[in-house]
Structure 1
Amino acid sequence: MFIDVVEIVVKAGDGGNGCVSFRREKYVPRGGPDGGDGGRGGHVFLVADPHLNTLYPFTFQRRFEAPRGQHGRGKNRTGRDGSDLYVRVPVGTVVYDEAGRVLADLVEPGQTALVARGGRGGRGNARFATPTRQAPYIAEPGEPGEQRRLHLELKLLADVGLVGLPNAGKSTLIAAVSSAKPKIAPYPFTTTVPHLGVVFWKHYRRFVMADIPGIIEGAAQGRGLGLQFLRHIERTRLLLLLVDCSELAPDPVQAYQTLLREMRAYAPALLERPRAVVATKQDIAVPDRVERLAIAAAQDQTPFFAISARTGAGLESLMDWVAETLHRTAETAIVEMGHRA
């Protein structure tokens, strides 16, 4: 099951208590204090695991607690530190605290984030000996470890995001160009969870494509399934706006404008990245509808493609453009990084 939002509680280990002890050996009847310090409590870390793709395991366990530090002992023996706890999360997980502040954005495999710090161990009575107080009977208790309630939000990492109204042909396209096998059926909201597909194109070019549930009017205000999954296209480098131009589909120009409005309402920055308009289902499309959509795209100075994922018509030119655009944007990013360096 795909889960992309969850709340958990993390509790770092408490520090061990300091020890009250005195040296007692033969012929040393009045030895000084030798109580050791307590050990530090274990920290709690989140670590990005590339083998995970959902937050579903957290529906079974929502509380994670690191072990406490051991108490100090006599003969100046310090307690052992508590073991650190590493909680695995999918790559792409954003971590928020209770106030909504971002604590970490785990976008690289193996990346870690300290989310709860273990308590410091208490000092033993040997630390309190002074020339005027040579036999202190005091020691510190260990400090409590941090406890936090965290909000975890998974944002999938993909190069290309497919956006469209329900039943626009997104799942058919991703199935045609990748090895992904989403459910495909001729009715709206067939896709209820995001799907990722890896596309291997010419010249060994490889990129990841994300298919999210269809967007409807008012999605940015919470209607339909699209809003809760729009976060999964926030990290994409390129967007394909898919519009059904068949006879029974909604008016294609209005559908296109709906997509632009909802993306603008959700995150205006989405409209600043490269995008193309794709007229789908060309095997059953109405030519007049395709032409009107092409004019609307031209007015926005947006590249336009007409395809049929079922027959393969137009797929080559679309995928060539996608691969070339991704390659060009990657080169631009490298140049910008070089200038900053």
Structure 2
Amino acid sequence: MKAVTDRPIRWGVLATGGIAASFTEDLLGVEGAEVVAVASRAEGPARAFADRFGIPRAYGTWQELAADRDVDVVYVATPHAYHHRAATLLLEGGRSVLCEKPFTLNAGQTADLVATARTHDLFLMEAMWTYLDPTIRRITALVADGAIGEVQSVHADFGFTAAHDPTHRLWDPALGGGALLDLGVYPVSFAQLLLGEPESVHAWAKLSPEGVDANTGIVLGHANGATALLACSLTAQSGQRATVQGSAGRIEIDRDFFHPDGFVLHRDGREPEEYRAAPRVGHGYGLEAAEVGRCLRDGLTESPLVPLDGSLAVMRTLDAVRDRIGVRYPGE
């Protein structure tokens, strides 16, 4: 892949919903980046989005964006069920891709995307901002340095109450609905960042009438004896906390563990140490855009901070959870 070194990184945005708008707001403030095109499945929403953010080109089809040779990389912000199709179209058109989490509906689709990106020598990354968050990186560095000894257990939960509406994407199997893919991907990704891919997966869930998971508990077991106790829910407002327990201490994140404002380090025999994050810029999505830009300028086809094999490992775990709780999506 040829490095982009002599000009700004030219971005396209695929989809025009709330997450696309938030990402674009942040992207406009990233040094060395410019948004040059947006696409939707109809020209009207694409044009309205382009007018809102001062984007020069608006397309009413995904194919037109994929064919735009003046676009270096595209941010994919569609519902989960369309990630594979959209990202494949873009990669085959010669565009690098930053794809919203979860990467796809299942590990098979993710493996296919990774293979397509590697075949075309293009950059591909899952938009997992947690892995790029400076506070999370500080935590992983402390763990790697042995600040709490050997990690024995990771606890994390992410839940909120969502009104049951079969037409909403959160409850629609055809759109990859359920708590697991929308929320559970965060605690699973956090646990695997610290412990790697598990050896065993156990799970239980309350399913909605549509057949997606509404309230899910997960236990992961690792070869070294470590465990992860995780939860996600569309029916309970959780604390969104995380704890990393080690043989010589623990790390506690009190709120929003996936992009925390700080944490407390407890080392055995010492006073607690509180770490506070620097004020977040925008919504926090600029971290993703900056990492993509850094990689494209270095001629990399994947990020060392959000590696493709790591995203694929998370998808395998999510597949295993769905197998245990009996959730299937149309076409699987």
**TM-score, length basis structure 1:** 0.27
User: Greater CA radius of gyration, 1 or 2?
Assistant: 1
Greater helix percent: which structure? 2
**TM-score, length basis structure 2:** 0.27
